[in-house]
Amino acid sequence: MMETKSIPVLDMTCAVCAGNVEKIVRGLPGVQEANVNLAANLLTVTFDPQQLSVEAMQQAVRHGGYDLVIEEEDPVAIQMQKEREAYLRMRNNTIGAWVVSVPLSVLSMMHLDVPYMNWLLMGLALAVMLCFGRAFYVNGWRHAVQGSANMDTLVALSTLISFLFSVFNTVCPDFWLERGLQPHVYYEASGMIISFVLLGKLLEARAKQSTSSAIRSLMNLQPKTAHQLKDGFEEDVPIAFLRVGDIVIVRPGEQIPVDGVVSEGFSSVDESMLTGESLPVEKPVGSRVLAGTINQTGSFQMEATNVGKATVLAQIVRRVQEAQGSKAPVQRIVDKVSAIFVPVVVGIALLTFVVWLVVGGTAMFSYALLSAVSVLVIACPCALGLATPTALMVGIGKGAEQHILIRDASALENLCHIDTIVFDKTGTLTEGKPKVLDTWWDKQIFDPSLLSILYAAEHRSEHPLASALTEYIEPMHPSAIQGGTFESITGRGIQFTFDDTTYWVGSRAFLDDFGAVLPDAARLALDKWESAGYSVVFFGRGAEVLVLFAISDRLKQTSTQAVAQLHEAGIEVHLLTGDAERPAKQIADEAGIRHWKAQTLPSDKEEYIVALQKAGRRVAMVGDGINDSPALARADVSIAMGRGTDVAMDVAMVTLITSDLLSIPEAIRLSRRTVRSIHQNLFWAFIYNVIGIPLAAGILYPVCEWLMNPMIASAAMAFSSVSVVTNSLRLKWSHA
């Protein structure tokens, strides 16, 4: 039995690192698939736990120079803590590097003819390299020993070359003087390269923290402690200590710690953060309550039913993490480029050095060396590696904040290409709860006490419209009656005999069975309701018609607006329903849908989707994830309507936790914005390297004698990653 886990990864610095971790894990026995998201520092792995343990996976990754957080309780919190500690170390190293590098650079530019000045510069550069940039050399050496390379390799090579060349010129200046050349030193390049790279990584780390803000917001919904009632005493305990069956006290204004059932008391609960429904929900004894929602007015006791990773909130967090850790199809190209990026750059640097010497001879040695160093420094695999995952993290996280759960990156990418959406009717476009909208009563013969008989009969019925009648009658406080015989008649309704009198409730067919005749007033009401597409239920006694009920499943308030927005976006909307022609047409007309089909079975819906696809349409299906599952599975993108706790997260590519259909056009807009951001990021990441590397190599020197300083190259490299992450963060505030 294969198992999929999302495991936080530590100590990655660039896209090549992510590729290395993937390669290590994929090479382990029992691993089916492994993907690493650099932006989220997250490994998503599918493996056979019978062949491979998580501990063995961690050991293999550690041997490769990285680490996994495999603690079961709260690995994401542990990862965030370790990343926070790493951020603080990086901040201190960045400040220290700049404090030393600035005077190093100033002294180098002043060209002071002071004895031992070069030795002073050497000491300052060495301090920056060993005290503040030590991690670059440790990581670079570790990867070299294992036959791999990453961004640290480029930084280590470039700074060591500059430093060692300067040391040679400091110790043996006569070697160049005898050849008529000046023994220049470039200690400032070593120091400033490290300073700029550290600054860029620091800004990148801060920006990446913003991309994961959605996950942190979801995690913060769950409190850390709970008021547990045990042996009659109340005790505050960490929620990790709670078990199924424990009794918990929830006071007004507090967040509910775990999923459970109200066992004592009464309150109303704000569930908007999970379900999107703005109005508080009343919670009498026996009602289900969810972790992370907020208790409003009353205090109550609850029995825990789901704790830890089993709560609805934890499942949503896990789904968002897995989605953010998945890869879009376009990322495959980037992975291939990143895998060979560093060796290719080192090759280009060597070629640059050789070409300069061939063209200019030994007189150009300094230029050749500086150009090679600039090539090593300016090349940035990070910008490529971050282009896709940062945009996906922000896009999927923003969707979660708007109660849109996107299953994976492919779903998000495919959603923007949809040109046709097919809606199920009941529970999707409509409220899914039939209601009595109008009635006709024969006031001359109707006795209000007959409501008790109707109520008792409908309580025994399993017909979908029975609940609408009982809900309508209940506020009239019908009295309870005992006895009587009940009979369900297929295709007609029910008969109920009480005190030797026969009553019937159901379709118009009963009128002929009992010889009942509709009064003129009832006939007028019936014609009006049927033309409006309502279902009509008849209640009679023998040959007498007592009441007519007009019942309909009402359109959701946002359905018409959502359909209009989809039309504005150029998307064709279709309606499929198992209902009869007249109510189907009524709902379609009311919602503004021109294409509809009634009396469809689940197999018919699937065939309808296939026909659209054969016509060249890219189809999304929106349904409840159960009876629409064949059509959902067939569609290019499947969208399930969630209902708070009953979220069909395993059925569809996209799940709308809220019942608000306006989430659908918003999801499509979000998909388009995210994919546009990915394309922008990839364009600039590729263009940056395509333009930057030739400039660093000195391609403009023959034209205008301009040569890129390694310090400028390091600054450009440092800010390229920041620009990509910043562009992705624009999604957080974009509404276009």
Region 114-143: mean pLDDT is 89
Model pLDDT, residue 301: 94
Model pLDDT, residue 706: 85
Model pLDDT, residue 41: 83
Q: Which helix (H) or strand (E) holds 597?
A: strand 595-597
Residue 362 reports pLDDT greater than 90:
no
Q: Is the dihedral of CA 382, 384, 388, 391 positive or negative?
A: positive
* 105-114, 187-196, 268-277 — most confident range: 187-196
Identify the residue with better confidence: 1 or 33: 33
Residue 145 reports pLDDT greater than 70:
yes
132 residue type, one letter: F
Residue 423 reports pLDDT greater than 90:
yes
Identify the residue with better confidence: 58 or 657: 58
Give the integer Cα–Cα distance in Å for 112 and 601. Answer: 89
Region 250-257: mean pLDDT is 92
Q: Which helix (H) or strand (E) holds 303?
A: strand 300-306
Model pLDDT, residue 212: 66
Over the stretch 672-707, which tens digit does the pLDDT of each residue have?
999 999 889 888 888 888 888 999 898 888 888 888
Q: Is the dihedral of CA 87, 88, 93, 96 positive or negative?
A: positive
What angle do helix axes 365-378 and 331-360 make, rounded to 10 degrees? 170
Q: How far is CA 536 from the centre of its chain?
A: 44
Model pLDDT, residue 222: 77
Are residues 259 and 312 in contact, defined by beta-carbon separation less than 8 angstroms? Answer: yes
Identify the residue with better confidence: 16 or 236: 236
Residue with tokens 């109920």: 496
Give the integer Cα–Cα distance in Å for 293 and 273. Answer: 7
Q: Where does the pLDDT of residue 648 fall: very low under 50, low under 70, confident under 90, or very high at 90 and above?
A: very low
Mean pLDDT score across all residues of the chain: 84
Nearest Cα residue to 254 out of 220, 292, 287, 288: 292
Residue 646 reports pLDDT greater than 70:
no
Over the stretch 436-464, which tens digit does the pLDDT of each residue have?
889 998 888 777 778 888 888 888 776 66
How much of the chain, in percent, has pLDDT values that exceed 90? 28
Region 180-206: mean pLDDT is 82
Model pLDDT, residue 361: 84
Residue 645 reports pLDDT greater than 50:
no
Identify the residue with better confidence: 299 or 79: 299
| HSE toward the beta carbon, residue 265, CA cutoff 13 A | 22
Are residues 505 and 455 in contact, defined by beta-carbon separation less than 8 angstroms? Answer: no
Region 15-36: mean pLDDT is 88
Model pLDDT, residue 644: 41
Residue with tokens 């301090």: 127
Model pLDDT, residue 100: 94
Q: Where does the pLDDT of residue 350 fall: very low under 50, low under 70, confident under 90, or very high at 90 and above?
A: very high
- Annotated active-site residue in 152, 408, 424, 660: 424
Lookup: tokens for 679: 């394309």
Q: Where does the pLDDT of residue 735 fall: very low under 50, low under 70, confident under 90, or very high at 90 and above?
A: low
Under DSSP, the state recorded for 428 is: I
Q: Give CB contacts under 8 A, 24+ apart, made by 92-95.
A: 93/131, 93/132, 93/133, 93/135, 93/198, 94/132, 94/195, 94/198, 94/199, 94/202
Residue with tokens 């996107």: 406
Model pLDDT, residue 568: 94
Residue 315 reports pLDDT greater than 70:
yes
Over the stretch 398-413, which tens digit does the pLDDT of each residue have?
888 888 888 878 888 8
Over the stretch 595-639, which tens digit does the pLDDT of each residue have?
999 878 778 888 999 999 999 999 999 987 556 778 888 899 988
**Phi-psi bin for 62: left (phi > 0), alpha (psi -120 to 50), beta?**
alpha
Give the integer Cα–Cα distance in Å for 499 and 485. Answer: 10
Residue 424: active-site member: yes
Region 241-261: mean pLDDT is 93
Q: What is the largest CA-CA distance in the chain?
A: 128
Q: Is the dihedral of CA 384, 386, 387, 392 positive or negative?
A: positive
Residue 76 reports pLDDT greater than 70:
no
Q: Sort strands 535-541 and 501-506 into parallel, antiparallel or unpaired.
A: antiparallel
Model pLDDT, residue 456: 85
* 67-81, 135-149, 313-327 — most confident range: 135-149
Collect all residues with Cβ–Cβ distance below 8 Å to 691 and sequence separation of at least 6: none
Model pLDDT, residue 74: 65
What does the DSSP assignment read for 538-559?
EEEETTEEEEEEEEE-PBPTTH
Q: Sort strands 435-441 and 544-552 into parallel, antiparallel or unpaired.
A: antiparallel
Q: Where does the pLDDT of residue 48 fall: very low under 50, low under 70, confident under 90, or very high at 90 and above?
A: very high
3-class SS letters over 237-274: EEHHHCCCCCEEEECCCCECCCEEEEEEECEEEECHHH
Lookup: tokens for 641: 């309507």
Model pLDDT, residue 437: 87
Residue 647 reports pLDDT greater than 50:
no
Q: How far is CA 612 from the centre of its chain?
A: 29
